[in-house]
Structure 1
Amino acid sequence: MSDESGFDDRRLHTRTPLVLKVEYGSRDGFLRDYTANISRGGTMLRTSRDLDEGTEVDLLLSFPGLLKEITLRGVVRWIQDEGQDEDRAVGVEFLGDDERNFRELARLVERIEAGDEGVVASFVMRVLVVEDNPHVAQLIQRGLDAQLQRSGGRIGFEVQHASDGLQALALLDESVHLLITDIFLPGLDGEQMIRKVRADGRFDNLPIIAVSAGGNEVRHRVLEAGADFFLAKPLRLADLLGSMRRLLAVGDRVPLPQ
Protein backbone atom coordinates (compact mmCIF):
# COMPACT_ATOMS: atom_id res chain seq x y z
CA MET A 1 0.00 0.00 0.00
CA SER A 2 2.66 2.46 0.97
CA ASP A 3 4.31 2.59 -2.45
CA GLU A 4 1.17 3.65 -4.29
CA SER A 5 -0.99 5.40 -1.73
CA GLY A 6 -1.28 9.00 -0.60
CA PHE A 7 -2.47 9.82 2.88
CA ASP A 8 -4.57 12.72 4.09
CA ASP A 9 -5.47 12.63 7.76
CA ARG A 10 -7.60 14.78 10.02
CA ARG A 11 -9.08 14.64 13.54
CA LEU A 12 -12.83 15.05 13.50
CA HIS A 13 -13.24 15.53 17.27
CA THR A 14 -10.84 15.34 20.18
CA ARG A 15 -12.74 12.38 21.65
CA THR A 16 -13.19 10.38 18.45
CA PRO A 17 -10.64 8.18 16.63
CA LEU A 18 -8.16 9.82 14.29
CA VAL A 19 -9.35 9.57 10.68
CA LEU A 20 -6.77 8.60 8.04
CA LYS A 21 -7.79 8.76 4.40
CA VAL A 22 -5.94 6.12 2.37
CA GLU A 23 -5.92 6.68 -1.39
CA TYR A 24 -4.75 3.69 -3.43
CA GLY A 25 -3.35 4.45 -6.86
CA SER A 26 -5.58 1.89 -8.53
CA ARG A 27 -8.20 -0.79 -7.98
CA ASP A 28 -5.53 -3.47 -8.35
CA GLY A 29 -3.44 -1.80 -5.64
CA PHE A 30 -6.36 -2.02 -3.22
CA LEU A 31 -7.08 -5.65 -4.12
CA ARG A 32 -3.44 -6.62 -3.58
CA ASP A 33 -3.42 -4.99 -0.14
CA TYR A 34 -6.74 -6.63 0.71
CA THR A 35 -5.43 -10.09 -0.19
CA ALA A 36 -2.03 -9.72 1.49
CA ASN A 37 -2.94 -7.68 4.57
CA ILE A 38 -6.44 -6.35 5.18
CA SER A 39 -8.16 -9.75 4.98
CA ARG A 40 -5.69 -11.01 7.61
CA GLY A 41 -6.56 -8.33 10.13
CA GLY A 42 -4.24 -5.39 9.55
CA THR A 43 -2.21 -3.25 7.18
CA MET A 44 0.76 -0.91 6.97
CA LEU A 45 0.65 2.70 5.83
CA ARG A 46 2.90 5.74 5.75
CA THR A 47 1.96 9.08 7.24
CA SER A 48 3.59 12.30 8.39
CA ARG A 49 1.30 12.45 11.43
CA ASP A 50 2.72 11.98 14.93
CA LEU A 51 0.97 8.86 16.18
CA ASP A 52 1.42 6.84 19.36
CA GLU A 53 1.10 3.10 19.77
CA GLY A 54 -2.42 2.34 20.96
CA THR A 55 -4.03 5.22 19.05
CA GLU A 56 -7.41 4.24 17.60
CA VAL A 57 -7.86 5.19 13.95
CA ASP A 58 -10.61 5.04 11.36
CA LEU A 59 -9.19 4.22 7.92
CA LEU A 60 -11.14 5.51 4.93
CA LEU A 61 -10.03 3.36 2.00
CA SER A 62 -10.55 4.52 -1.57
CA PHE A 63 -9.21 4.20 -5.11
CA PRO A 64 -10.07 5.89 -8.43
CA GLY A 65 -13.55 4.85 -9.50
CA LEU A 66 -14.78 3.57 -6.12
CA LEU A 67 -18.21 5.09 -5.54
CA LYS A 68 -18.11 5.07 -1.72
CA GLU A 69 -15.17 5.01 0.70
CA ILE A 70 -14.63 1.88 2.81
CA THR A 71 -14.33 2.54 6.55
CA LEU A 72 -12.40 0.23 8.92
CA ARG A 73 -11.54 0.88 12.57
CA GLY A 74 -8.18 -0.17 13.95
CA VAL A 75 -5.44 0.57 16.46
CA VAL A 76 -1.80 1.53 15.90
CA ARG A 77 0.40 -1.40 16.99
CA TRP A 78 3.85 -0.30 15.82
CA ILE A 79 5.62 2.75 14.40
CA GLN A 80 8.89 2.85 12.49
CA ASP A 81 10.69 6.12 11.73
CA GLU A 82 12.23 6.09 8.25
CA GLY A 83 14.41 9.17 8.74
CA GLN A 84 13.95 12.87 9.29
CA ASP A 85 12.57 13.58 5.81
CA GLU A 86 10.57 10.37 5.40
CA ASP A 87 7.00 9.56 6.40
CA ARG A 88 6.67 7.07 9.25
CA ALA A 89 5.68 3.47 8.59
CA VAL A 90 2.71 2.61 10.81
CA GLY A 91 1.25 -0.83 11.47
CA VAL A 92 -2.51 -0.90 12.10
CA GLU A 93 -4.41 -3.87 13.53
CA PHE A 94 -8.14 -3.87 12.85
CA LEU A 95 -10.41 -4.21 15.87
CA GLY A 96 -12.15 -7.52 16.46
CA ASP A 97 -15.54 -5.91 17.08
CA ASP A 98 -15.56 -4.81 13.43
CA GLU A 99 -16.50 -8.32 12.22
CA ARG A 100 -19.70 -7.19 10.51
CA ASN A 101 -17.76 -4.60 8.52
CA PHE A 102 -15.28 -7.28 7.46
CA ARG A 103 -18.08 -9.51 6.18
CA GLU A 104 -19.49 -6.58 4.26
CA LEU A 105 -16.01 -5.76 2.97
CA ALA A 106 -15.51 -9.34 1.71
CA ARG A 107 -18.79 -9.11 -0.22
CA LEU A 108 -17.81 -5.69 -1.52
CA VAL A 109 -14.45 -6.99 -2.73
CA GLU A 110 -16.25 -9.72 -4.68
CA ARG A 111 -18.34 -7.04 -6.39
CA ILE A 112 -15.23 -4.93 -7.08
CA GLU A 113 -13.46 -7.91 -8.65
CA ALA A 114 -16.54 -8.55 -10.79
CA GLY A 115 -16.61 -4.92 -11.97
CA ASP A 116 -20.08 -4.33 -10.50
CA GLU A 117 -21.14 -0.88 -11.75
CA GLY A 118 -23.06 -0.34 -8.53
CA VAL A 119 -19.72 -0.25 -6.70
CA VAL A 120 -17.11 1.00 -9.16
CA ALA A 121 -17.28 3.36 -12.12
CA SER A 122 -17.78 1.70 -15.48
CA PHE A 123 -14.81 3.64 -16.87
CA VAL A 124 -11.80 5.25 -15.17
CA MET A 125 -10.14 8.04 -17.12
CA ARG A 126 -6.43 8.58 -16.47
CA VAL A 127 -5.56 12.28 -16.43
CA LEU A 128 -2.05 13.75 -16.16
CA VAL A 129 -2.12 17.25 -14.64
CA VAL A 130 1.06 19.33 -15.06
CA GLU A 131 0.95 22.28 -12.68
CA ASP A 132 3.62 23.75 -10.41
CA ASN A 133 1.06 25.31 -8.08
CA PRO A 134 -0.09 22.44 -5.81
CA HIS A 135 -3.26 24.30 -4.84
CA VAL A 136 -4.38 24.56 -8.48
CA ALA A 137 -3.50 20.90 -9.10
CA GLN A 138 -5.48 19.87 -6.04
CA LEU A 139 -8.43 22.00 -7.14
CA ILE A 140 -8.49 20.23 -10.51
CA GLN A 141 -8.27 16.81 -8.87
CA ARG A 142 -11.03 17.54 -6.36
CA GLY A 143 -13.24 18.89 -9.10
CA LEU A 144 -12.78 15.77 -11.21
CA ASP A 145 -13.32 13.51 -8.21
CA ALA A 146 -16.64 15.25 -7.54
CA GLN A 147 -17.81 14.36 -11.04
CA LEU A 148 -17.74 10.66 -10.13
CA GLN A 149 -20.81 11.09 -7.94
CA ARG A 150 -22.52 13.45 -10.39
CA SER A 151 -22.04 10.95 -13.23
CA GLY A 152 -23.93 8.27 -11.32
CA GLY A 153 -20.86 6.05 -11.27
CA ARG A 154 -20.44 5.97 -15.04
CA ILE A 155 -16.99 7.51 -15.06
CA GLY A 156 -14.20 8.06 -12.56
CA PHE A 157 -10.88 9.87 -12.76
CA GLU A 158 -7.39 8.70 -11.84
CA VAL A 159 -5.26 11.84 -11.60
CA GLN A 160 -1.46 11.94 -11.70
CA HIS A 161 0.38 15.16 -10.91
CA ALA A 162 3.64 16.53 -12.31
CA SER A 163 5.12 19.88 -11.29
CA ASP A 164 7.22 20.52 -14.41
CA GLY A 165 7.54 19.43 -18.03
CA LEU A 166 10.38 16.95 -17.51
CA GLN A 167 8.52 15.15 -14.75
CA ALA A 168 5.43 15.03 -16.97
CA LEU A 169 7.37 13.41 -19.82
CA ALA A 170 8.69 10.79 -17.39
CA LEU A 171 5.15 9.95 -16.22
CA LEU A 172 3.46 10.01 -19.63
CA ASP A 173 2.65 6.70 -21.27
CA GLU A 174 -0.01 5.24 -23.56
CA SER A 175 -2.40 4.59 -20.67
CA VAL A 176 -3.00 8.34 -20.17
CA HIS A 177 -6.32 9.49 -21.68
CA LEU A 178 -5.88 13.26 -21.22
CA LEU A 179 -3.07 15.76 -20.57
CA ILE A 180 -3.87 19.05 -18.80
CA THR A 181 -0.91 21.40 -18.52
CA ASP A 182 -0.02 24.85 -17.30
CA ILE A 183 2.29 26.79 -19.64
CA PHE A 184 4.55 28.73 -17.30
CA LEU A 185 6.44 25.89 -15.61
CA PRO A 186 9.94 25.69 -14.09
CA GLY A 187 12.60 24.06 -16.25
CA LEU A 188 10.89 22.67 -19.34
CA ASP A 189 7.83 24.87 -19.84
CA GLY A 190 4.43 23.75 -21.07
CA GLU A 191 4.91 24.85 -24.67
CA GLN A 192 8.19 22.95 -25.03
CA MET A 193 6.71 19.92 -23.32
CA ILE A 194 3.73 19.88 -25.70
CA ARG A 195 6.08 19.99 -28.70
CA LYS A 196 8.03 17.01 -27.34
CA VAL A 197 4.82 15.08 -26.73
CA ARG A 198 3.58 15.72 -30.27
CA ALA A 199 6.97 14.69 -31.68
CA ASP A 200 6.40 11.22 -30.19
CA GLY A 201 4.20 9.23 -32.54
CA ARG A 202 2.60 7.36 -29.65
CA PHE A 203 0.79 10.53 -28.62
CA ASP A 204 -0.45 11.86 -31.96
CA ASN A 205 -4.06 11.56 -30.77
CA LEU A 206 -3.59 12.34 -27.08
CA PRO A 207 -6.01 15.14 -26.10
CA ILE A 208 -4.09 18.10 -24.62
CA ILE A 209 -5.66 21.01 -22.76
CA ALA A 210 -3.36 23.98 -22.05
CA VAL A 211 -4.12 26.34 -19.17
CA SER A 212 -2.50 29.74 -18.67
CA ALA A 213 -3.00 33.29 -17.49
CA GLY A 214 -1.23 34.44 -20.67
CA GLY A 215 -3.12 36.29 -23.38
CA ASN A 216 -3.70 35.74 -27.09
CA GLU A 217 0.00 35.47 -27.93
CA VAL A 218 0.45 32.55 -25.52
CA ARG A 219 -2.78 30.99 -26.78
CA HIS A 220 -1.55 31.13 -30.38
CA ARG A 221 1.84 29.60 -29.49
CA VAL A 222 0.52 26.64 -27.52
CA LEU A 223 -2.17 25.79 -30.08
CA GLU A 224 0.51 25.92 -32.77
CA ALA A 225 2.68 23.64 -30.59
CA GLY A 226 -0.05 21.01 -30.60
CA ALA A 227 -2.53 21.71 -27.79
CA ASP A 228 -6.16 21.01 -28.66
CA PHE A 229 -7.70 23.59 -26.34
CA PHE A 230 -6.49 26.68 -24.51
CA LEU A 231 -8.25 27.72 -21.29
CA ALA A 232 -7.54 30.99 -19.52
CA LYS A 233 -6.83 31.23 -15.81
CA PRO A 234 -8.50 31.49 -13.39
CA LEU A 235 -9.75 28.07 -14.50
CA ARG A 236 -13.46 27.25 -14.33
CA LEU A 237 -14.21 23.55 -13.90
CA ALA A 238 -17.25 23.85 -16.17
CA ASP A 239 -14.99 25.07 -19.00
CA LEU A 240 -12.57 22.21 -18.39
CA LEU A 241 -15.32 19.58 -18.48
CA GLY A 242 -16.82 21.16 -21.58
CA SER A 243 -13.47 20.91 -23.35
CA MET A 244 -13.11 17.30 -22.24
CA ARG A 245 -16.53 16.41 -23.66
CA ARG A 246 -15.56 17.79 -27.04
CA LEU A 247 -12.14 16.16 -27.05
CA LEU A 248 -12.65 12.65 -25.75
CA ALA A 249 -14.17 9.93 -27.90
CA VAL A 250 -15.19 8.18 -24.68
CA GLY A 251 -17.72 10.97 -24.20
CA ASP A 252 -19.97 9.29 -26.77
CA ARG A 253 -19.99 6.03 -24.80
CA VAL A 254 -19.74 7.34 -21.24
CA PRO A 255 -21.07 10.92 -21.32
CA LEU A 256 -19.53 13.32 -18.84
CA PRO A 257 -22.06 14.94 -16.50
CA GLN A 258 -23.51 18.33 -17.33
Structure 2
Amino acid sequence: MAPKRTLAPSETLVMVADDSKVVRVKTSRALAKHQYQVTLAEDGMAAVRLFGDALPHVLITDVEMPGMDGFELTRHVRSNPRTAHIPIIMITSSDEKHRNDAFEAGVSVLMGKPYEEDALIAEIQAALSRAPVSAPALALDD
Protein backbone atom coordinates (compact mmCIF):
# COMPACT_ATOMS: atom_id res chain seq x y z
CA MET A 1 0.00 0.00 0.00
CA ALA A 2 1.36 3.39 -0.98
CA PRO A 3 1.93 5.95 1.77
CA LYS A 4 -0.81 8.47 2.19
CA ARG A 5 -0.13 11.77 0.42
CA THR A 6 -1.28 14.94 2.11
CA LEU A 7 -2.50 17.65 -0.22
CA ALA A 8 -0.68 20.96 -0.22
CA PRO A 9 -2.89 23.97 0.53
CA SER A 10 -2.59 25.08 -3.11
CA GLU A 11 -4.10 21.70 -4.13
CA THR A 12 -6.89 21.91 -1.54
CA LEU A 13 -10.34 23.29 -2.30
CA VAL A 14 -12.16 24.58 0.78
CA MET A 15 -15.84 25.47 0.56
CA VAL A 16 -17.19 28.07 2.98
CA ALA A 17 -20.98 27.99 3.44
CA ASP A 18 -22.21 30.91 5.53
CA ASP A 19 -25.09 33.34 5.07
CA SER A 20 -22.96 36.22 6.39
CA LYS A 21 -21.07 37.91 3.57
CA VAL A 22 -18.66 39.38 6.14
CA VAL A 23 -17.83 35.89 7.46
CA ARG A 24 -17.43 34.48 3.94
CA VAL A 25 -15.06 37.29 2.95
CA LYS A 26 -13.06 37.13 6.20
CA THR A 27 -12.72 33.35 6.04
CA SER A 28 -11.86 33.30 2.34
CA ARG A 29 -9.14 35.91 2.86
CA ALA A 30 -7.65 33.92 5.73
CA LEU A 31 -7.67 30.73 3.64
CA ALA A 32 -6.25 32.45 0.57
CA LYS A 33 -3.45 33.89 2.69
CA HIS A 34 -2.49 30.28 3.47
CA GLN A 35 -2.68 29.38 -0.25
CA TYR A 36 -5.95 27.39 -0.09
CA GLN A 37 -8.32 27.43 -3.04
CA VAL A 38 -11.70 28.72 -1.87
CA THR A 39 -15.26 28.52 -3.08
CA LEU A 40 -18.09 30.38 -1.35
CA ALA A 41 -21.76 29.52 -0.78
CA GLU A 42 -24.30 31.83 0.83
CA ASP A 43 -26.30 28.92 2.28
CA GLY A 44 -26.65 25.15 2.27
CA MET A 45 -28.59 24.99 -0.98
CA ALA A 46 -25.94 27.03 -2.77
CA ALA A 47 -23.27 24.69 -1.36
CA VAL A 48 -25.10 21.65 -2.74
CA ARG A 49 -25.37 23.33 -6.15
CA LEU A 50 -21.64 24.12 -6.09
CA PHE A 51 -20.86 20.43 -5.46
CA GLY A 52 -21.93 19.98 -9.09
CA ASP A 53 -19.05 22.21 -10.19
CA ALA A 54 -16.31 20.82 -7.95
CA LEU A 55 -16.16 18.72 -4.81
CA PRO A 56 -14.33 20.49 -2.02
CA HIS A 57 -11.70 18.69 0.02
CA VAL A 58 -13.04 20.40 3.18
CA LEU A 59 -16.38 22.05 3.95
CA ILE A 60 -16.66 24.85 6.50
CA THR A 61 -20.26 25.61 7.41
CA ASP A 62 -22.23 27.86 9.69
CA VAL A 63 -25.13 26.40 11.69
CA GLU A 64 -27.94 28.85 11.07
CA MET A 65 -28.56 29.65 7.41
CA PRO A 66 -31.79 30.21 5.50
CA GLY A 67 -33.19 27.39 3.41
CA MET A 68 -30.82 24.57 4.32
CA ASP A 69 -28.99 25.03 7.62
CA GLY A 70 -25.61 23.56 8.53
CA PHE A 71 -27.11 20.42 10.08
CA GLU A 72 -29.16 19.68 6.96
CA LEU A 73 -26.16 20.39 4.76
CA THR A 74 -24.02 18.03 6.83
CA ARG A 75 -26.63 15.26 6.67
CA HIS A 76 -26.90 15.78 2.91
CA VAL A 77 -23.11 15.50 2.48
CA ARG A 78 -22.91 12.40 4.69
CA SER A 79 -25.81 10.65 2.91
CA ASN A 80 -24.17 10.81 -0.52
CA PRO A 81 -21.41 8.22 -1.09
CA ARG A 82 -19.58 10.68 -3.37
CA THR A 83 -19.35 13.35 -0.67
CA ALA A 84 -19.53 11.35 2.58
CA HIS A 85 -15.73 11.44 3.03
CA ILE A 86 -15.47 15.26 3.01
CA PRO A 87 -14.34 16.64 6.40
CA ILE A 88 -16.87 19.14 7.73
CA ILE A 89 -15.90 21.95 10.10
CA MET A 90 -18.92 23.63 11.67
CA ILE A 91 -18.50 27.07 13.17
CA THR A 92 -21.07 28.38 15.62
CA SER A 93 -21.42 31.06 18.26
CA SER A 94 -22.99 28.57 20.66
CA ASP A 95 -20.88 25.44 20.28
CA GLU A 96 -22.04 23.77 23.50
CA LYS A 97 -25.70 24.20 22.54
CA HIS A 98 -25.12 22.53 19.15
CA ARG A 99 -22.45 19.98 20.08
CA ASN A 100 -24.64 16.84 20.17
CA ASP A 101 -26.69 17.79 17.10
CA ALA A 102 -23.54 18.61 15.15
CA PHE A 103 -21.82 15.31 15.83
CA GLU A 104 -25.03 13.32 15.31
CA ALA A 105 -25.35 14.98 11.88
CA GLY A 106 -21.77 13.98 11.02
CA VAL A 107 -19.70 17.11 11.65
CA SER A 108 -15.97 16.34 11.90
CA VAL A 109 -14.98 19.40 13.97
CA LEU A 110 -17.06 21.96 15.86
CA MET A 111 -15.46 25.36 16.43
CA GLY A 112 -16.82 28.30 18.38
CA LYS A 113 -17.00 31.91 17.18
CA PRO A 114 -14.93 33.91 17.24
CA TYR A 115 -12.09 31.61 16.25
CA GLU A 116 -8.42 32.25 15.77
CA GLU A 117 -7.25 32.02 12.17
CA ASP A 118 -4.37 29.73 13.14
CA ALA A 119 -6.82 27.41 14.93
CA LEU A 120 -8.98 27.13 11.80
CA ILE A 121 -5.94 26.39 9.61
CA ALA A 122 -4.79 23.76 12.11
CA GLU A 123 -8.24 22.13 12.10
CA ILE A 124 -8.28 22.05 8.28
CA GLN A 125 -4.84 20.43 8.21
CA ALA A 126 -5.83 17.91 10.89
CA ALA A 127 -9.08 17.06 9.10
CA LEU A 128 -7.24 16.54 5.82
CA SER A 129 -4.67 14.30 7.49
CA ARG A 130 -7.47 12.07 8.80
CA ALA A 131 -9.50 12.02 5.57
CA PRO A 132 -8.83 9.64 2.70
CA VAL A 133 -6.81 11.27 -0.06
CA SER A 134 -9.27 12.26 -2.73
CA ALA A 135 -8.69 13.03 -6.35
CA PRO A 136 -8.45 16.65 -7.35
CA ALA A 137 -11.76 18.43 -7.00
CA LEU A 138 -13.92 17.06 -9.79
CA ALA A 139 -17.37 17.87 -11.03
CA LEU A 140 -20.11 15.41 -10.17
CA ASP A 141 -21.75 13.56 -13.02
CA ASP A 142 -25.28 13.72 -11.64
Tell me the TM-score range normalised by the shorter chain: 0.7 to 0.9
Q: Which contiguous aligned blocks of 4+ residues in structure 1 show a shift greater than 3 angstroms?
A: none
Q: How many equivalent residue pairs?
A: 123
RMSD value over aligned CA atoms? 2.0
**Partner residue of 2:112?**
232
Larger Rg: 1
CA contact (8 A) 1:128 1:172 kept: no
Q: Residue deviations 1:39-83, cap 9 Å, x none?
A: xxxxxxxxxxxxxxxxxxxxxxxxxxxxxxxxxxxxxxxxxxxxx
Q: Which residue of 1 aligns with 2:129?
A: 249
Partner residue of 2:12? 125
Structure 2 gap ranges (5+): 1-7, 132-142
Match of 2:97 in 1: 217
User: 1:200: Cα distance to partner?
Assistant: 0.3
SS at match of 1:249: helix
- After the TM superposition, which residues 42-53 of structure 1 pair with which residues of structure 2 at under 5 Å, given as runs? none
Distance 1:227 1:172 in 2: 17
2:96 matches 1:190: no
Which residue is 1:169 aligned to? 48
Which structure features the higher share of helix residues? 2
* Larger RCO: 1 or 2 (CA < 8 Å, sep 6+): 2
Q: Indicate how the Cα distance of structure 1 residues 234 and 122 shifts in structure 2: closer, same or farther if over 3 A, else same.
A: closer
Question: Counterparts of 2:112 and 2:42 in 1: how far apart (Å)?
Answer: 19
One-letter amino acid of the counterpart of residue 44, structure 2 = G
Pairing 1:79-94 to 2, within 5 Å after superposition? none
Give 1:157 shift: 1.6
- Separation in structure 2 between the aligned mates of residue 146 and residue 250 of structure 1, nearest angstrom: 23
TM-score (ref. length: structure 1): 0.45
TM-score where L is the length of structure 2: 0.79
Aligned-partner SS, 2:61 = strand
The SS at the match of 2:82 is helix
For the structure 1 residues 145 and 123, does the alpha-carbon distance in structure 2 shift closer, same or farther, using more than 3 Å as the test? closer
Mark the runs of 5 or more structure 1 residues left unpaired by the alignment: 1-120, 148-155, 252-258
What does residue 85 of structure 1 align with?
none
Q: Secondary structure at the match of 1:201?
A: coil
2:28 corresponds to 1:141: yes
